[in-house]
Structure 1
Amino acid sequence: MRVKCVICDTIQQLEDDLPLAKKLRNRPIHTYMCDPCYTRIADETEKRIATGKFRFFRTSSKFDEEF
């Protein structure tokens, strides 16, 4: 299965039997991100959380109080 990264537009080949390929095929709302983009976003998010200025937005204030 050919997939395209939503951030950098690189095209990669996934085997048809992988769970990720099945998820992308059966649920079109899911998107694919290549490994370099995924790790880059994860690292940048961890850096933002470490600054202390990162704020999680939640759906209800009751949930915020429990957290």
Structure 2
Amino acid sequence: MRVKCIICDKIETIEDSLPAAKKLRNRPIHTYMCDECRIRIADKTLKRISTGQFFVYRSGKQKDWLQ
């Protein structure tokens, strides 16, 4: 399945059997983000959190990358 990143517009191919491909096929509201953009956003979020000026308001369990 060919997918396009919503941030950088890079076109990638993912296997049809992956859960992400099934979500994109069955629910058009889901969007795809490439690994490079996902890592970049995670790194910048962690840097903002470490400054102490950024507050994360979450309910429930925190993600592994925030711990």
TM-score past 0.5 threshold? yes
RMSD: 1.5
Q: Equivalent pairs: percent with the same residue?
A: 71
Bigger-Rg structure (1/2): 1
The Cα of 1:18 is off from its aligned counterpart by: 0.7
- The structure that is helix-richer by fraction is 1
Aligned to 1:20: 20
Aligned to 2:32: 32
Secondary structure of the corresponding residue to residue 3 of structure 1: strand
Matched to 2:12, the amino acid is: Q
The Cα of 1:14 is off from its aligned counterpart by: 0.8
Aligned to 1:63: none
- Looking at structure 1, the residues matched to 49 and 27 of structure 2 have their Cα atoms a distance apart, in angstroms, of 31
Q: Segments of 4+ in structure 1 off by > 6 A?
A: none
With normalisation by structure 1, the TM-score equals 0.80
Structure 1 unmatched ranges of 5 or more: 59-67
Q: Does 1:5 align with 2:5?
A: yes
Aligned to 1:54: 54
Matched to 1:39, the amino acid is: I
Structure 2 unmatched ranges of 5 or more: 59-67
